[in-house]
Structure 1
Amino acid sequence: MTVPITEGFVDFDVPSAGQPCKTWYKVFGDLNAGTPLVGLHGGPGAVHDYLLSIADIATTHKIPVVLYDQLGNGHSTHLRDKAGDTSFWTEQLFLDELDNLLTRLGIKDNYTVLGHSWGGMLGAKHATLSPKGLRALIISDSPASMTLWLEAAASLLAQLPQDVQDTLRKHEDAGTTDFQEYKDAMKIFNSRFVCRLDPLPEEVKACDDALDADPTVYLTMNGPSEFHVIGPLKNWSIVDDLHKIRVPTLLLNGEFDEAKDSVVVPFFNLIPRVKWYTFPNSSHMPQWEARTKYVQVVGDFLKGLGTIGGASSQGL
């Protein structure tokens, strides 16, 4: 069965941008045919492409899916002159963009959210604000705090060959993380803990290419790599506000994920209505590494079908 696909732009008023801004979106299915699932991509600074597999849910579970490129990336407005401007690239900017998109698509009163990595951090923050139309939240492969994330990253780095560790540290200390040698060493980390598929899906490659073409947001908010975070996100935490998330919540991560159990467990302990599933033999992108199971778990959760197996869970 094929589903209708539409795409377009919504205006996003950002006075401090110094130019008109637009957010690009793509809808799989009919927004009026059920509660839409809105996907929030990671990075910050990635693009929607690597989340395209979740659009399968529009077919398997007849749930309309909305994907979009966050400001500064993909088909949305790029603002390269804002590179390094930490007063502009903030969590609040992206919260405002999400609210604007929901309003302009006419779904603000009835929707669910799936956020992956940085998108899960953004989605969790959105949920703590008690938006009246949010029906459920899915936090996929995301940390509850960057302190925990960096601790987990350090433990994963220690598993790499010593020469790879030395190369990474050498360039981080020298500030030469744009050198090809550093990027090649990063690929070894990524092949174990980000996406274990070889070859990589074309959609994941497209995301990597987009980040290379315009790293403005990623370098400003995060830093040069997943484990060398020197931007303002380094101090990010939502642990103290997790009790404010009142909607049913599903946590997802992979067995070999850089989002280790240690970075996910605060979500499980502090969100009142929560379930948690860990995908075997997957890392940070189970939406590709275990595509069929991922779509099933997410779709069944949204449809309220059965009990999710896997890691310990409590009732919703």
Structure 2
Amino acid sequence: MKKFLFLPMAAIICLYSCKQQSNRPTVAEYFAPVDSGVQAAGIKMVSIKTPVGNFKVWTKRIGTNPRIKVLLLHGGPAFTHEYLECFESFFPKEGFEMIEYDQLGSYYSDQPRDSSLWTTARFVEEVEQVRQALKLDSSNFYLFGNSWGGILAMEYALKYQKNLKGMIVSNMMASIPAYEKYNLVLRSQMCKSLVDSLMNYEAKGMYKDTTYQRLIFSEFYNKHLCRLPEWPEPVNRAFKHLNEEIYVMMQGPSEFKTGGRLLHWDISNRLKEITVPTLMVGAKYDSMDPKYMEWMSTQVKNGKSLYCPNGSHLCFWDDQQVFMDGVIKFIKDVDAAKW
């Protein structure tokens, strides 16, 4: 009697497993060309309209999956997609279609000089135009944002979440004032003489001084931005390609010292308006408060949190397996309607 019951159950498990596997595209389907004509490794310059003219932004599509398309929003503002290239080692093998993207003003995209372009609202409209050009919609569109990209993702969701399937906010608090307060906590953990020295440079506006820069990297960035003993080449390349003019105008002189147009940005009381499934990612050594990131997951309607115990601001590098396992599971769960 037990054998009789076991066989149907085995058949059910087999059918379920086959059904799960059928959701993933075959290798041929995944790498099928999207565009006709000369193939360019998935790279496409997307035209966008702005109040001061038309420009082009750089995108690169890796793979094809009609169910799961993830658009990556880099930080900065005005860093590049390059420091997110580690996703290429994880998403394709899961069958996820991923799109790398350099926002306007960043290295691989057009770099107009009109300062009126560098506002959060204008960047939101840019993301929407990129979405339309790449034909992403609520049946398949996942938005990932790290740091400034997290600000952009949340702002996009507040206006256009009807177009989203899911969202991942990585290492970005919903309030710059709250971030500043946590920055003071991190400063209090540093040697007082070091902090006094850094503040002396800041008081004099000597942000580009070589000693100040060296101290920022050795005493702050190496502890809270990326904790790997040797920074990965894509991260160094992104720093090399930073558009400093836009970065300083919006963020301030460094990750250690905030300022610029984002100084008073705060949507903490609007998180409840976000109803799309959302994963909030925090890390123990991040420059963003991981407890605050966890709190954010309770404020959105359909939120979950991921904690990286060995990670920092770039936890997809220095706590890579925990980060990738959690993000991949989130995307799969949303895709399977396990929400």
Superposition TM-score, scaled by structure 2 size: 0.83
Match of residue 243, structure 1, among 272, 277, 286? 272
Shift in CA distance, 297/265, structure 1 to aligned 2, threshold 3 Å? closer
User: Within the alignment, does 1:10 sit opposite 2:41 as a pair?
Assistant: no
Structure 2, unpaired ranges of 5+: 1-26, 32-40
1:197 maps to 228
Match of residue 107, structure 2, among 51, 74, 77? 74
Match of residue 231, structure 1, among 255, 260, 282? 260
Contact 1:249-1:273 within 8 A present in 2 as well = yes
The amino acid of 2:314's aligned partner reads: M
Higher relative contact order (CA 8 A, sep 6+): 1
Superposition TM-score, scaled by structure 1 size: 0.89
- Report the secondary structure of 1:282's partner residue: coil
User: Within the alignment, does 1:128 sit opposite 2:158 as a pair?
Assistant: yes
The amino acid of 1:179's aligned partner reads: D
1:154 maps to 184
1:312 maps to none
1:94 maps to 123
2:10 maps to none
Contact 1:143-1:259 within 8 A present in 2 as well = yes
Separation of aligned partners in 1, 2:224 and 2:319 = 14
- Residue deviations 1:165-195, cap 9 Å, x none? 1221011100111111111111020011110
Equivalent pairs: percent with the same residue? 28
Q: CA offset at residue 154 of structure 1?
A: 1.0
2:135 maps to 106
Match of residue 36, structure 1, among 69, 93, 106? 69
1:308 maps to none
Contact 1:268-1:275 within 8 A present in 2 as well = yes
Q: CA offset at residue 64 of structure 1?
A: 0.3
Separation of aligned partners in 1, 2:324 and 2:89 = 7
1:269 maps to 298
Q: CA offset at residue 69 of structure 1?
A: 0.5
Root-mean-square deviation (CA), in Å?
Answer: 2.0
Separation of aligned partners in 2, 1:167 and 1:21 = 43
Q: CA offset at residue 59 of structure 1?
A: 2.5
Contact 1:47-1:210 within 8 A present in 2 as well = yes
Q: CA offset at residue 156 of structure 1?
A: 0.7
Match of residue 331, structure 2, among 302, 308, 314? 302
Structure number having the greater helix percentage: 2
The amino acid of 1:209's aligned partner reads: K
User: Within the alignment, does 1:178 sit opposite 2:214 as a pair?
Assistant: no
Answer with 90-99 or 267-276: which moved more: 267-276
2:317 maps to 288
- Report the secondary structure of 1:21's partner residue: strand
Q: CA offset at residue 48 of structure 1?
A: 0.5
1:47 maps to 80
Q: CA offset at residue 266 of structure 1?
A: 4.2
Answer with 108-117 or 263-272: which moved more: 263-272
Contact 2:161-2:276 within 8 A present in 1 as well = no
Q: CA offset at residue 130 of structure 1?
A: 4.1
Separation of aligned partners in 2, 1:56 and 1:124 = 26
- Residue deviations 1:125-148, cap 9 Å, x none? 111224322001111101110011
Separation of aligned partners in 2, 1:49 and 1:239 = 29
- Report the secondary structure of 1:122's partner residue: helix
- Report the secondary structure of 2:189's partner residue: coil
Separation of aligned partners in 2, 1:144 and 1:265 = 11
Contact 1:144-1:266 within 8 A present in 2 as well = no
The amino acid of 2:197's aligned partner reads: T
Contact 2:182-2:289 within 8 A present in 1 as well = yes
Separation of aligned partners in 2, 1:116 and 1:226 = 14
Contact 1:167-1:181 within 8 A present in 2 as well = no
The number of residues matched between the two structures is 299
The amino acid of 2:56's aligned partner reads: K
Shift in CA distance, 242/225, structure 1 to aligned 2, threshold 3 Å? same
2:17 maps to none
- Residue deviations 1:227-259, cap 9 Å, x none? 322212010011121111111111111111111
Q: CA offset at residue 262 of structure 1?
A: 4.2
